[in-house]
Amino acid sequence: MLFGLSPLELGLIAVVLVLLFGVGRLTKAGKDLGSGLRGFISGFKEGNEEAKKEEEKKE
């Protein structure tokens, strides 16, 4: 169970979201969220690699 909600409750929430916002807006929001997460993870990895390089230089 996700957040203590049963599959029936999650399905009901999904139906309400589709009725309120429509499929097009939800699809666009999902794509935007995914690209944002990808960018965040990419930036985090780059920062991690730079920190390791700086640490190696100090040694």
41 lies in a domain? yes
- Judged against a pLDDT cut of 80, whether residue 58 lies above it is answered with no
Residue 47 has a pLDDT of 85
With contact defined as beta carbons under 8 Å apart, do 42 and 33 qualify? no
Residue type, 22: G
Classify residue 2: in a domain, yes or no. Answer: no
Check if the beta carbon of residue 40 is closer than 8 Å to that of residue 32.
no
Confirm whether 46 is domain-assigned: yes
How far apart are alpha carbons 27 and 8 in whole angstroms?
22
pTM of the model: 0.56
Please indicate, yes or no, if residue 18 is contained in any of the structural domains. no
Range of the domain at 39: 23-59
The whole-number average pLDDT for the span 5-31 is: 91
Counted domains in the chain: 1
The pLDDT value given to residue 57: 78
Which pLDDT value is given to residue 51? 79
